[in-house]
Amino acid sequence: MDNSNKILLASSTKNLSLLRNFIESKAIDFGFDESTIIQIILSVDEACTNIIKHAHKYNENEQIEIETKTDKTEFRIIIKYKGNGFDPNDLNSPDMKEYFSKFKVGGLGVPIMKKFMNKIEYVHKNSDYNSLTLIKVL
């Protein structure tokens, strides 16, 4: 069992499977059930995909640091990265009926995160420091 609570990945969608495995093992250790674990993995995957696409513009020289912290009831995933930040709390969720009527694909990362996580915290100090924390309560 890996006791490290931190993982540093090159900013590439090729590394998302490593990320998913890391989050899955931490969420299992914390005691979440399978469906909750899937929700957490989806949320973190979407957050990191947004960072790779929008903040890093697919530049694999950039890095994303993911750390998990837990207390009795809270499971926190802290994602740190450089580049342009975005606060998911600022975005309105789309009208899903309208969304599907227009056959849209993609762009649901933020609504997924908002639906599946209990809380999202965002910190943007400057272009060299962004922190996105996804919190799930047991």
CATH-assigned architecture of domain 6-137: 2-Layer Sandwich (3.30)
Residue 107 confidence (pLDDT) = 64
**Domain positions in the chain:** 6-137
Q: Where are the beta strands (DSSP E) in the chain?
A: 6-10, 63-70, 74-81, 119-126, 129-137
Task: For residue 116, report the phi and psi dihedrals to the nearest 5 degrees.
Answer: -90, -25
Q: What is the mean pLDDT of residues 114-128?
A: 88
What is the chain's mean pLDDT, rounded?
A: 87
Does 117 score more than 90 pLDDT?
yes
Q: What is the mean pLDDT of residues 49-56?
A: 90
pLDDT digit string (tens) for 74-90? 999 999 999 877 777 77
